[in-house]
Amino acid sequence: MSEPIRIKPPLSDQDVERLKIGDRVLINGIIYTGRDAAHRRLFDLLKEGKNLPFDLKGQIIYYVGPTPAKPGQVFGSAGPTTSYRMDAYSPSLIERGLKGMIGKGMRSDAVKEAMKKYRAVYFAATGGAGALLAKRVKKAEIVAYEDLGPEAIRRLEVQDLPVIVVNDVRGNDLYIEGEKKYRKE
């Protein structure tokens, strides 16, 4: 297996174009968290033509609702949540410059099309590895929607957050290819 690739947002078209399915990637720097309720609010703001609480250009959103941090801990357990629930909202965000999403589980055709058209990628983090992933978060602060508790949007500074490329800009899908490769008829 090849060495992991290190990336640091904001990402350009060229940054994401060189990523292909199955690549192991270590993310460094700033990413944002957001899941069900936060996506709903971002989507509504876009519909009304209003500004978002952070600039999407070149950024990565991590679908996560962490546990509360213990005293002395930077961030609580923080594995990915299932992504299909964000499918209705993602194409609009991608169209406005979002370059990466981290979650788990397959995306809809509409999201995959948007990733191809506007050059974005989808990463899987290991679902259920919440304790391990939390240790890669070096700083966390709430950016918006504090009332949503675990669903608030947070800006995270991460160091070597391990993810795997599942959908690349060429329309490939590791969930489909991986299953095909190991299926026994």
Using CB under 8 A, list all residues that contact other proteins.
1, 22, 24, 36-37, 64-70, 73, 76-79, 81-82, 84, 104-106, 124, 126-132, 134-135, 149-150, 162, 164, 166, 174-175, 177-185
Instruction: Transcribe 88-119 into DSSP letters.
Output: TTHHHHHHTT--EEEEBSPPPHHHHHHHHHHT
Return the number of the residue (49 or 109) whose C-beta is nearest other proteins: 109
Question: Which is catalytic among the residues 35, 39, 107, 136?
Answer: 39
Shortest approach of other proteins to residue 95 CB, angstroms? 25
Residue whose CB is less far from other proteins, 13 or 128? 128
Q: Which is nearer to other proteins, 56 or 115 (CB)?
A: 115
Q: Least distance to other proteins from the beta carbon of 106, Å?
A: 6
We find the least distance from the C-beta atom of residue 46 to other proteins, in angstroms, to be: 20
Q: Which is nearer to other proteins, 24 or 116 (CB)?
A: 24
Q: Is 113 a catalytic residue?
A: no
On whether the CB atoms of residues 61 and 33 are closer than 8 A, the answer is yes
Phi-psi region of 92 (alpha: psi -120 to 50; beta: other; left: phi over 0): alpha
Helix (H, G, I), strand (E, B) or coil at 63: coil
Which residues are 158's β-sheet partners? 29, 137
What is the SS3 assignment for 128? Answer: coil
Instruction: Give the helix ranges, DSSP H, for 48-170.
Output: 90-95, 109-118, 130-134
Which residues are catalytic, by number? 39
